Amino acid sequence: MPVIRLQTVVNAPIDVVFDLSRSIDLHTISTAHTNEQAVAGKTTGLIGMGESVTWKARHFGVTQLLSSKITAFSRPNSFTDEMVSGAFKRFKHDHKFSEENGIVLMTDIFDYTSPYGIFGRIADYLFLKRYMTELLTERNRIVKAFAEDNSKHTGLL
């Protein structure tokens, strides 16, 4: 069970960083390279407690569907999304936010299990954990860029 932990420092108000992190529209922007699209559930705007979204994307040359649901929500400090169905055996993604002196520390904890037993664990070791880390790092880079530039996030919140 790999666990990916990322921390990103953002020079923006915590409410803005929190809301951008749960924006369906910004997620679509941050995953443009995989042509990710929200196709069911909450497909635009800000996702909240108890809501779900189904994403359609192309990873490793294969079009996949992945549905997740918000299972915990404490604005503006944290929220959790968990896989309902998709390519992983399971995943839980905790998003945590803390603010000190106007600077936000955004922490991601992505805990997942690959399918296919030993073959999934080999895939984790060879490429999947690195791929997921890069995907989450790019998402955080986009959240940071939009949060720190008021002109970019105006239409997303």
Contact predicate 10/147, CB 8 Å: yes
The predicted pLDDT at position 2 comes to 92
pLDDT beyond 80 at 151: no
Q: Model pTM greater than 0.85?
A: yes
Domains of the chain (ranges, CATH numbers)? 3-153 (3.30.530.20)
The predicted pLDDT at position 40 comes to 98
For the purposes of burial, counting CB atoms within 10 Å of the CB of 154, is it exposed (0-12), middle (13-18) or buried (19 or more)?
exposed
Residue type, 111: D
Q: Which helix (H) or strand (E) holds 92?
A: strand 90-100
pLDDT band (50, 70, 90) for residue 150: confident
3-state secondary structure of 82: strand
**Higher per-residue confidence, 92 vs 58:** 92
Average of per-residue pLDDT across 62-83:
96
The predicted pLDDT at position 123 comes to 77
Distance CA 129, CA 4 (A): 8
pLDDT beyond 90 at 65: yes
- The pair of structure tokens assigned to 59 is 């990873």
Q: Which helix (H) or strand (E) holds 41?
A: strand 37-41
Contact predicate 72/80, CB 8 Å: yes
